[in-house]
Amino acid sequence: MLYFANASSPTVRAAMAAGEIGMMCTPAEGRSPAGARVWAADNGCYGQGYPGDVRWLKWLAKLQPYAGNCRFAVAPDVFDSVNMAGDAGATLAMSVPLLPEIEKLGYRPAFAAQDGTEDHPVPWDRFAVLFLAGSTSWKLGEPAAALAAEALHRGKTVHMGRVNSRKRWLIAERLGCASADGTFLAYGPDTNLQRMRRWSVTTADTPPAGSTPAVRTRRCTGAQTPGRQA
């Protein structure tokens, strides 16, 4: 599983250049992904850094020369960072129109699943990557696990956001995530990079003390609309 982070120190940037970790780029940060072997494009909605649809698409267009090394560009979503909960309905309304625009620019579109996504029709045919966002309880619960299972069944890639501990890394691995991101390397980056390297060599057979996350396999297609096939 590949970890994406911000380029917070020379040591972290060297690891990105080597392809050991990926660079998560945001429009507010404005950093070029040129120095990273692999990167991903965030939207900046978490933390209120989203510049608006037009400016965000222009930002992606500016970075098109690096699109071939971009694992995904996540469409804008709605997350209440005060109450730490996502809004699935608002996210669908905001992101679905932009998914084809992301693809036109040469990126793999990512759709951010939020609290309650399982109760809405999921636009499976419009994105390549399922980004598990939402509140912690939702992200680590049965609905997110079921959506991840369905995404993998459909040949999609799964990514988990806000992974800042070995415990959550192992849960993301169990769900079949190909990648994860977080702010773990933003604080004490050189020390935490060494700690994170130990996560990647830990197998799912050795969970951290006090943690026994279950492996869930039930699939969730999302709520159905008339005439919609599962």
Give the CATH number, domain containing residue 60.
Answer: 3.20.20.60
* 213 in any annotated domain: no
Judge whether 217 and 150 are in contact, CB under 8 Å.
no
CA 156 to chain centroid: 13
Domain count, the chain: 1
User: Mean pLDDT over all residues of the chain?
Assistant: 88
Full domain range(s) for residue 179: 2-200
pLDDT of residue 202: 55
Within 10 angstroms of residue 32's Cβ, the number of other Cβ atoms is 14
Within 10 angstroms of residue 224's Cβ, the number of other Cβ atoms is 11
pLDDT of residue 81: 66
Judge whether 158 and 175 are in contact, CB under 8 Å.
yes
| Residue 79 pLDDT grade (very low, low, confident, very high; cuts 50, 70, 90) | confident
C-alpha to C-alpha distances, 209 to 132, 151, 193, 216, nearest whole angstrom: 25, 30, 21, 20
pLDDT tops 90 at residue 84: no
- Separation between Cα atoms, residue 77 and residue 128, nearest integer Å: 16
- pLDDT tens profile 132-162: 999 999 999 999 999 999 999 999 999 999 9
Q: pTM above 0.85? A: yes
* 211 in any annotated domain: no
Strand partners, 73: 41, 109
**Smallest Cα–Cα separation from 194: which of 6, 11, 1?**
11
Q: What percent of the chain has pLDDT over 70?
A: 84
* 181 in any annotated domain: yes
* 212 in any annotated domain: no
* 27 in any annotated domain: yes
- pLDDT tens profile 177-214: 999 999 999 999 999 999 999 997 754 444 443 343 44
Give the count of alpha carbons within 13 A of 195, CB side only.
13
* 209 in any annotated domain: no
pLDDT tops 90 at residue 51: yes
* 103 in any annotated domain: yes
* 228 in any annotated domain: no
